[in-house]
A and B are shown apart, each in its own frame.
Chain A
């Protein structure tokens, strides 16, 4: 669906994206996971003709280079920094963004109704965006990306700074869009979101691709072993294992030692990142 080849972008001396190549397949939810400053937003920007790459190229299969305006009709973008007009109402925003896509008349009205409904803003559609909460603005930012029903959605940290309720409804929405066959590129620095939503994940840092694959694959190859921590009074014991079920059964079966606590740490994307970079995702 979308192919990025050897993308490179420098801002002054800073290399924001350093030879990144990705291929996003039709119908998948592809996660771009990395800490702040990893180059995710720059990658999104280059994928849609907003930022001109210093080197490399972008192709939207069947359409061409998104630097070419008509090609961008196939893409919907929800930028990380909110891109909606605060002094317009939610509906006026949607109508405006629909018109930018050359939509009009009844088609536009119906599509505006539907997308506002999908993000749960129908009841507030005639209020100015300035009066909205952070979560509502995020949802409107997302709605604006899908007004024209694009087959490819680029969502840049769509849950940044929202309340848990809005976050859940956004994740739900992404799932249902994926179920309808929309291809999604989803960037985040929350590994839980990537793990929950994405069929494949690319781990990036300092503009470079560190690893790519399905979540279980990544965890298996880069996550390390499961760690069982057993607390006995004021002493705790750390056991690395490849078969946690058997080991826990063994530990529990031994009545002679008083066990006060037991924790099983299975490797996850966080440990993948830790193993790949020596740093935590949340730094």
Chain B
């Protein structure tokens, strides 16, 4: 009904503000969902058929490299790779002085075994060969390559935060391979390099590794295998704790857990308030038109008609808000790849589910805020309303 549209145009500023309010609330909602999604990305990219073995005390303690062969003999294991968190900071001098700093996840790994365990990583055979041949070579994700503006053959230099080099210089690498992934959720901003390169250059920690990545022959054997591994070393000074890759990745997330909760709380309050304000405005504009509703009834519109009119109006407003807010945010993040904090959020997307929820919230807001005035208009005694001009 075009009457709905005309009513929206009656006070364009109010309509625009209400639409804007709803839009902001829904945009915030999408942003929030994208952020929370980014926090959870590590957990999502984990595979059920991989385990991580770390020191029983804490992630910050190291394990002897000798464990590798003993773990490898446990029944049900497909492969073992050392993985040590390197945590280097990328630095390049800028032409105009100063320097550009970037942070991304970087690890030292047993390259050949590691890549066997992570089939999500896809590299061309040629690049794979040259990666294995070059001791200082490294592998980076295509999204990281794009961010840094690096291609195969370019050099990358990392300032060590944990692992100083013997000569006191930054660690230099050559990009030998760039990976993509066949999985939507796999992080394409990682950097990995040869564990032997770390081993040669580092000042301390020789013969040790941060953790072991273990591949299972079958995901169902998770419990037996992790028990078996932990039993192997239970009496040694360096006892282990074996967990699923997901649980391992979650350790990082849980550090941010409280932050996440706070985030969600603040976000929800803000969104709720804005929707409440929009709903209130819609209700007011419904109430102001009692007389018009009475006139409509007098000329033959039924109770259902006037109800539909008012509910339709507020649904139209909140759907407009959805289009502007949620789709705006979707375009910005998913299509234009806007990323407010690229250093930390490697996977930053408004999930489709969030869009559906946003649509649901919009329709619900429209329904709820149109319902009361609609109901009032429906119950309205035209005779009464027309008397009291």
Instruction: Answer yes or no: do A and B interact.
Output: no
User: Which A residues are closer than 8 A to B by beta carbons?
Assistant: none
